[in-house]
Amino acid sequence: MAFVREIAHKVWIANIVNNAYVYNEAELPKGYVQANGYKVSRINVIATVVDTFVDGNMKFASVTVDDGSAAIRVRAFTDGISMLESLQRGDLVLVVGRVREYQEEVYVLPEIVKCVDKNWELARKIELLQTQEQYVTDPQQHVQQEVSDKKPKFKVRDIIREEGDEGCAAEVIFHKSLYSEDETKRFLDELIIEGEIYEPKPGHYRII
């Protein structure tokens, strides 16, 4: 069976901290928050840094982020510390990561942390207020949902997804895209703003 990466749900932080965390070795995903009756193991949030901590031995770091609904800690260890060590209170950040629990505290183990501008925050709040997140409990259902998605920008996103976790260069996307280079660039910009993809280095794109 092909590996299907869990979707990083765009949610309010309150949806995570105010619901039960479940861990079951027999399930996929093994660890998740039961949010509105659905399984959420990865999240994509935009929030403000309200507290920071870096261990003097550089073995642990954390930041607390708040999106106006609630706050949650983002915790990193060893190699992941570099994502958090330069953050300051007041920074607005995009956080993508896995939901974890330790000593009854639900936290985020980060995969991506990047500073963003206020336009991202406004766009995300409008998105969360106007649309209801559609969760899926079966990875195969998610695959079917993606296949049926016909919007041009998501076809561009799928080109990046097909290249795997390392993503791909803009030249590859332009070559495979069914649309003009200008249209494809516009779709890439929209996907970045919506938190679907990110640009780890100029001209190279990865799925969030």
pLDDT tens sequence across 38-66: 789 999 999 999 999 998 888 899 999 99
188-to-22, 42, 97, 106, 125 alpha-carbon distances in Å: 35, 22, 22, 33, 21
As a whole number of angstroms, the distance between CA 117 and CA 139 comes to 32
pLDDT-derived band at 132 (thresholds 50, 70, 90) equals low
183 versus 129: the higher-pLDDT residue is 183
Determine the Cα angle at 16 with ends 10 and 22, to 5°.
120
Prior bond of 139 cis (ω within 30°):
no
As a whole number of angstroms, the distance between CA 84 and CA 96 comes to 13
13 versus 2: the higher-pLDDT residue is 13
Highest averaged pLDDT of the listed ranges 9-13, 88-92, 136-140:
88-92
Tokens of 119: 């336009």
Residues in Cβ contact with 183 at an 8 Å cutoff, skipping those fewer than 6 apart: 152, 177
The percent of residues above 90 in pLDDT, for the chain, comes to: 52
As a whole number of angstroms, the distance between CA 205 and CA 208 comes to 10
As a whole number of angstroms, the distance between CA 126 and CA 119 comes to 11
| Mean residue pLDDT across the chain | 85
As a whole number of angstroms, the distance between CA 79 and CA 108 comes to 15
As a whole number of angstroms, the distance between CA 14 and CA 172 comes to 39
Domains of the chain: 8-117 (2.40.50.140), 149-207 (1.10.10.10)
Question: Do 83 and 75 form a contact (C-beta atoms < 8 A)?
Answer: no
pLDDT for position 1: 42
Tokens of 99: 């939901």
Helix (H, G, I), strand (E, B) or coil at 5: coil
Res 159 pLDDT > 70? yes
Which burial class, exposed, middle or buried, applies to 67 when counting CB atoms under 10 A from its CB (0-12, 13-18, 19+)? buried
